[in-house]
């Protein structure tokens, strides 16, 4: 019997301070929040999505010591996510202020913490084997403190390990040499349409896809594009759009993370790329109708919803 693939996540876990507002205040002004939540965010969003869809998940990052780390650790425990790397006792994990406006769009202000202190020696202790998945985001390589460690570790992974990369909103801040190294190793590039266009320096999404295809995606590229669904391309599948599902938009924070986590979990379970993308679209549609960053539905919820939507 084949061993189940595991997801090793390098995307940093932080605390999200989320507030719902009507719109961003003018400089020097103030805005009243109608809802608020303090919760684990960042890389936790991808991991919780994959875990809720049946994948064994390992946090390949570092927690710290303090109240924020306690919140993060409790959240990881609640999802059955393993945390093998020892905590940094000198600092707490960082936090991100997330402002969600009345159209569901999110704006971030990030203050990093202990998660930036991850070292290559710690990554070297991880038991990553053939057929496992490794996920990293732009936040894994944008900071000089951890970028070099992550880049060094990536070069040690055998080809049989599936690497997925989502550049996230900090895509243009990643040092060029680091970006090209990660793109060259990525089996899957997972990003949104805006990030794809920025990375490629292109004027259209089609041109961006062509450009990125020459630089990355040893297995494929998935570009999620809000109400347009997602665009998928592999060596066997030409550029194909998987339609989105109609939903009420409350909070888009974590939507891309949900899509990433579900897509990878479905691939790991042996589903086809197109089926994995369809289920990821459905999970993201349900997630954005709920308030908070880690709102991915369970696999059973997605299956039940699809049974109704696909009639």
How far is residue 62's CA from residue 113's CA, in Å, rounded to a whole number? 10
> Has residue 300 been placed in a domain?
yes
> Is 234 contained in some domain?
yes
Of the chain, the percentage scoring pLDDT greater than 70 comes to 99
Name beta bridge partners: 62: none
Tell whether the model's pLDDT for residue 2 goes beyond 70.
no
Cross-strand bridge partners of residue 42: 13
Asked if residue 139 is part of any domain, the answer here is: yes
pLDDT higher than threshold 70 for residue 1: no
Would you place residue 293 in the very low, low, confident or very high pLDDT band (cuts 50, 70, 90)? confident
| Residue at 182 is within a domain | yes
Q: What's the pLDDT at 84?
A: 97
CATH for 214: 3.40.1190.20
- pLDDT over 90 (residue 226): no
Is 295 part of any domain? yes
Whole-angstrom Cα distance, residue 167 to residue 11? 10
Q: What is the pLDDT of residues 164-207, one digit of tens each?
A: 999 988 888 999 999 999 999 999 999 999 999 999 999 899 99
pLDDT of residue 106: 84
Instruction: Please state the domain count of the chain.
Output: 1
Specify if 52 maps to a domain.
yes
Question: What residues are paired with 234 via a beta bridge?
Answer: 220
Q: Residue 100: inside a domain, yes or no? A: no
DSSP, res 10: -
The answer to the question of residue 37 being in a domain is no
Q: What is the pLDDT of residue 3?
A: 74
- Residue 294 has a pLDDT of 85
Query: How much is the pLDDT for 187?
Result: 98
List pLDDT tens digits, range 105-149.
Answer: 889 999 999 998 898 899 999 999 999 999 999 989 988 888 988
Tell me how crowded residue 40 is: count the other CB atoms within 10 A of its CB: 25
Across the chain, mean pLDDT equals 93
Lowest mean pLDDT: which of 71-75, 248-252, 273-277?
248-252
- Look up the pTM and report it: 0.93
- Beta pairing class for 230-234 and 240-242: antiparallel
- Name the E strands within the chain: 6-9, 13-20, 35-42, 56-59, 95-100, 106-111, 133-137, 162-166, 188-192, 220-224, 230-234, 240-242
For residue 124, what are the domain limits?
6-11+45-60+119-309
């Amino acid at each position: 019997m084949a061993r189940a693939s595991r997801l090793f996540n390098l995307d940093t876990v932080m605390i999200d301070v989320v507030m719902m507002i009507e719109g961003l205040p003018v400089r020097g002004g103030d805005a009243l929040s109608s809802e608020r939540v303090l919760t684990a965010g960042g890389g936790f969003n991808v991991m919780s999505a994959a875990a809720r869809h049946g994948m064994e998940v390992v946090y390949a990052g570092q927690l710290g010591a303090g109240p924020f780390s306690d919140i993060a650790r409790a959240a990881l425990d609640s999802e059955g996510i393993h945390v093998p790397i020892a905590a940094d006792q000198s600092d707490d994990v960082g936090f991100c202020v997330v402002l969600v406006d009345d159209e569901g769009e999110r704006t971030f202000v990030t203050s990093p913490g202990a998660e930036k202190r991850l070292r290559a020696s710690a990554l070297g202790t991880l038991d990553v084997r053939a057929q496992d998945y490794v996920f990293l985001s732009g936040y894994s390589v944008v900071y000089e403190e951890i970028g070099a460690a992550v880049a060094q570790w990536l070069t040690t992974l055998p080809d049989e390990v599936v690497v997925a990369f989502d550049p996230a909103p900090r895509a243009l801040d990643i040092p060029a040499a680091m970006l090209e190294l990660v793109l060259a190793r990525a089996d899957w590039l997972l990003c949104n349409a805006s990030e794809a266009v920025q990375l490629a320096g292109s004027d259209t999404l089609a041109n961006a896809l062509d450009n990125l295809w020459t630089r990355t995606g040893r297995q494929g590229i998935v570009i999620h594009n809000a109400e347009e669904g997602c665009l998928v391309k592999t060596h066997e599948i030409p550029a194909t759009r998987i339609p989105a599902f109609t939903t009420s938009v409350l909070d888009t924070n974590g939507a891309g993370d949900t899509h990433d986590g579900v897509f990878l979990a479905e691939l790991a379970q042996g589903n086809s790329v197109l089926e994995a993308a369809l289920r990821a679209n459905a999970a993201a549609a349900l997630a954005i109708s709920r308030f908070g960053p880690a709102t991915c539905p369970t696999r059973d919820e997605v299956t039940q919803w699809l049974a109704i939507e696909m009639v």
